[in-house]
């Protein structure tokens, strides 16, 4: 799973737009559910703790060498920056050690998404434990990962103002931080046009989102005070 490929998508046909929005909405809503139910209350989001709560195991390649050897995954690991496995009742994510921490976090969140969103494994070889997913499922997993690690309403409440700040507080790749800032600015500009002074125009739309935001309230207040 090469990181850069997660951001590429073919041009959509008109009839695909509704399906894409459904995938986006489902990923977004699942993020808020997980954040709310696990009472996540600060950034950066502890993605390993969330994986543990959902019984998803995460190992670096170097710490999973016995497993890699026993399943003959050496070539697969050499060709991919992360590998998602299903081993009987075990759900496993393997991550390349040499990647920057921010990229590792994104790939863990991306693999985590496949499990919690119930994506179908396209690998028909019953003896091969490596999970394979469709382009659409990979896109949805990317949508999930970005929103899990950089929840927009929380960033809105914090009053973040630049991509570097988002990259730092969320511990996410620079490219992802820039996209989140762009989205945040779009919402702020839209709210100004509508005369809305808060984020209600496009944020806080679901009960889970509001519950998750409340869990972050002390963190947000402390962050704003420290930024004065």
**Number of Cβ atoms within 10 Å of the Cβ of 156:** 20
Q: Please tell me whether residues 96 and 131 are part of one structural domain.
A: yes
In a domain, 126, yes or no: yes
Residue 125 to residue 105: CA distance in whole angstroms:
29
Q: Which domain holds residue 163?
A: 151-228
Tell me, what's the pLDDT at 20? 83
Among 6-15, 66-75, 124-133, 188-197, which is the least confidently predicted range? Answer: 6-15
Q: Last residue of a domain, which of 105, 124, 149? A: 149
Q: Please tell me whether residues 126 and 51 are part of one structural domain.
A: yes
pLDDT in tens, 45-63: 999 999 999 999 999 999 9
Nearest 5°: phi and psi at 82? Answer: -150, 155
Q: Please tell me whether residues 126 and 77 are part of one structural domain.
A: yes
Query: Which of these, 122, 137, 107, 179, lies nearest to 26 by C-alpha position?
Result: 137
Instruction: Report residue 61 as tokens.
Output: 């390649």
In a domain, 104, yes or no: yes
In a domain, 160, yes or no: yes
The helix (run of H) or strand (run of E) holding residue 139 is helix 135-149
Q: Please tell me whether residues 226 and 167 are part of one structural domain.
A: yes
In a domain, 17, yes or no: no
Residue 133 to residue 158: CA distance in whole angstroms:
35
Report helix, strand or coil for 211. helix
Q: Last residue of a domain, which of 122, 149, 176? A: 149
Q: Please tell me whether residues 144 and 156 are part of one structural domain.
A: no
Tell me, what's the pLDDT at 198? 53
Question: Under a CB-based contact definition with an 8 Å cutoff, are residues 151 and 41 in contact?
Answer: no
Report helix, strand or coil for 219. helix
pLDDT averaged over the chain? 90
Query: Given a cut of 80, is residue 90 above it in pLDDT?
Result: yes
Q: Please tell me whether residues 46 and 144 are part of one structural domain.
A: yes
Q: Last residue of a domain, which of 129, 149, 169? A: 149
Q: Please tell me whether residues 83 and 160 are part of one structural domain.
A: no
In a domain, 187, yes or no: yes
Tell me, what's the pLDDT at 188? 84
In a domain, 23, yes or no: no
Report helix, strand or coil for 121. coil
Count Cβ atoms within 10 A of the Cβ of residue 151 and give its class: 0-12 exposed, 13-18 middle, 19 or more buried: buried
Tell me, what's the pLDDT at 13? 43
pTM exceeds 0.85, yes or no: yes
Q: What is the 3-state secondary structure (H, E, C) of 21-83?
A: HHHHHHHHHHHHHHHHHCCCCCCCCCHHHHHHHCCEEEEECHHHHHHHHHCCCHHHHHHCCEE
pLDDT in tens, 124-161: 998 889 999 999 999 999 999 999 999 999 999 999 99
Q: Please tell me whether residues 169 and 201 are part of one structural domain.
A: yes
Residue 83 to residue 62: CA distance in whole angstroms:
13
CA distances from 22 to 15, 27, 69, 140 (A): 12, 9, 40, 10
Q: How many domains does the chain have?
A: 2
pLDDT in tens, 162-214: 999 999 999 999 999 999 999 999 888 887 777 655 555 567 878 999 999 99
CATH number at 101 reads 1.10.10
Query: Given a cut of 60, is residue 78 above it in pLDDT?
Result: yes
Query: Given a cut of 50, is residue 111 above it in pLDDT?
Result: yes
pLDDT mean over 114-132: 94
Tell me, what's the pLDDT at 42? 98
Q: Please tell me whether residues 195 and 225 are part of one structural domain.
A: yes
In a domain, 99, yes or no: yes
181-193 core/surface letters (b: 16 or more CB in 10 A; e: else) = bebbeebeeebee
Q: Please tell me whether residues 63 and 143 are part of one structural domain.
A: yes
pLDDT mean over 78-107: 97
Q: Please tell me whether residues 181 and 196 are part of one structural domain.
A: yes
Instruction: Using the Cα atoms of residue 97, residue 98, residue 104 and residue 110 in order, give the sign of their dihedral.
Output: negative
In a domain, 7, yes or no: no
pLDDT mean over 55-73: 97
Residue 173 to residue 169: CA distance in whole angstroms:
11
Q: Please tell me whether residues 68 and 136 are part of one structural domain.
A: yes
């Amino acid at each position: 799973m090469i990181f850069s490929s997660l951001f590429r998508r073919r041009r959509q046909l008109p009839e695909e737009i509704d399906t894409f929005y459904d995938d986006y909405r489902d990923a977004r809503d699942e993020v808020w559910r997980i954040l709310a139910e696990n009472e996540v209350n600060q950034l950066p989001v502890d993605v390993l703790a969330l994986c543990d709560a959902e019984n998803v195991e995460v190992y670096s390649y170097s710490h999973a060498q016995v497993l890699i050897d026993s399943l003959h995954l050496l070539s697969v690991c050499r060709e991919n920056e992360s590998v998602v496995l299903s081993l009987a009742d075990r759900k496993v994510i393997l991550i390349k050690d040499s990647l920057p921490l921010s990229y590792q976090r994104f790939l863990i969140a991306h693999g985590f998404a496949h499990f919690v969103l119930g994506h179908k494994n396209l690998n028909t070889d019953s003896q091969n434990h490596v999970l394979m997913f469709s382009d659409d499922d990979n896109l949805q997993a990317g949508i999930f990962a970005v929103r899990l690690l950089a929840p927009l309403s929380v960033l809105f409440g914090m009053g973040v103002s630049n991509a570097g700040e988002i990259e730092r507080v969320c511990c996410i790749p620079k490219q992802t931080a820039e996209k989140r800032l762009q989205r945040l600015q779009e919402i702020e500009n839209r709210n100004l046009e509508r005369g809305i002074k808060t984020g209600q125009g496009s944020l806080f739309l679901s009960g889970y989102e509001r519950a998750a935001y409340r869990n972050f309230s002390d963190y947000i207040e402390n962050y704003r005070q420290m930024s004065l």
